[in-house]
Homo-oligomer: A and B are copies of this chain.
Amino acid sequence: MKHVVVRNIPRGPQEAIAELATHGVATVHEAMGRTGLMAPYMRPIYPGASIAGTAVTALVAPGDNWMLHAAIEQCRPDDILVVGVMSRNTDGMIGDLICTSLKTRGIKGVVIDAGCRDVRALTEMRFPVWSRAISARGTVKATLGNVNLPVVCAGVNVNPGDAIVADDDGVVVVPRLEIAGTLELARQRTEKEEKSRQRYLAGELSLDVVNMRAGLQAAGLVYVDNANEI
């Protein structure tokens, strides 16, 4: 493994990234052709958080948060720290001190494939973390990893500089060069969904709004009046 910290990473347009957050993780994930979504075990430590920013990546050893300290220095305002772990681990690698530092420096949040602690303090300071566990378990500082190399986090390969969108539905990764295109598709989807919503509120059925009846029939779906007709 290369024990490297990369100082400069490309960053996408923050205005576009910020707008992705307004469309939400589900819509952005659909706009990307249903790709880029992290595993659903990644949960926010409190409900209602919704952020988008540029990924600064770190790879750490299980039970060891040494590299996170090197990563903090590489974060700029509006970044999101994304942490992968060498093997499955739930130790509390992120807590109130690290998050105080991150928040002070303008970082928007953390996405970590391990544990988070001090969740009450983080909730009170409104600094959001998406993690696979909440655990007070402390970590050591003994093993090197790297910062700003590609890292797999919760099943998705994240390149430093990719956009991260996170809310109550989970975390999605948008490759840097696809941000603009994804935003355009997300806008279209949001607009289209709003029109559909009005029809559903008026009592219409999705079978009609999305025009599914013919397809279901063609596939062989049969309607019967009662179970004993089967």
CA distance A32 to B138 in the complex (A): 11
Q: What is the total number of residues of chain A having a CB less than 8 Å from a CB of chain B?
A: 105
Q: Looking across the interface, which residue of chain B has its beta carbon closest to that of A158?
A: B157
Residue A91 at the chain B interface, CB threshold 8 Å: yes
Q: Looking across the interface, which residue of chain B has its beta carbon closest to that of A151?
A: B157
In the complex, the answer to whether B66 meets A63 with C-beta atoms within 8 Å is no
In the assembled complex, how far is the CB of residue A218 from the closest CB belonging to chain B, in whole angstroms?
10
CA distance A101 to B62 in the complex (A): 27
In the assembled complex, how far is the CB of residue A227 from the closest CB belonging to chain B, in whole angstroms?
5
Count this chain's copies in the assembly: 6
CA distance A66 to B206 in the complex (A): 10
CA distance A91 to B37 in the complex (A): 11
Kindly identify, within residues 132 to 166 of chain A, every residue whose CB is under 8 Å from any CB belonging to chain B: 133-138, 140-144, 148-150, 152, 155-157, 160
CA distance A120 to B27 in the complex (A): 13
In the complex, the answer to whether B69 meets A168 with C-beta atoms within 8 Å is no
In the complex, the answer to whether B230 meets A26 with C-beta atoms within 8 Å is no
Most chain B CB neighbours (cut-off 10 Å) among A30, A136, A143, A169:
A136
Kindly identify, within residues 195 to 213 of chain A, every residue whose CB is under 8 Å from any CB belonging to chain B: 196-197, 200-207, 210, 212
CA distance A63 to B201 in the complex (A): 26
Q: Looking across the interface, which residue of chain B has its beta carbon closest to that of A156?
A: B152
Residues in B whose Cβ lies below 8 Å from that of A148: 227
In the complex, the answer to whether B220 meets A40 with C-beta atoms within 8 Å is no
Residue A25 at the chain B interface, CB threshold 8 Å: yes
Residue A126 at the chain B interface, CB threshold 8 Å: no
In the assembled complex, how far is the CB of residue A127 from the closest CB belonging to chain B, in whole angstroms?
12
B-binding residues in A (CB < 8 A): 1-9, 24-26, 29-30, 32-35, 37, 39-40, 43, 46-48, 50, 61-64, 66, 69-70, 72-73, 86-92, 95-98, 100-101, 104-105, 115, 117-120, 123, 133-138, 140-144, 148-150, 152, 155-157, 160, 167-170, 172, 193, 196-197, 200-207, 210, 212, 215-216, 219-227, 230
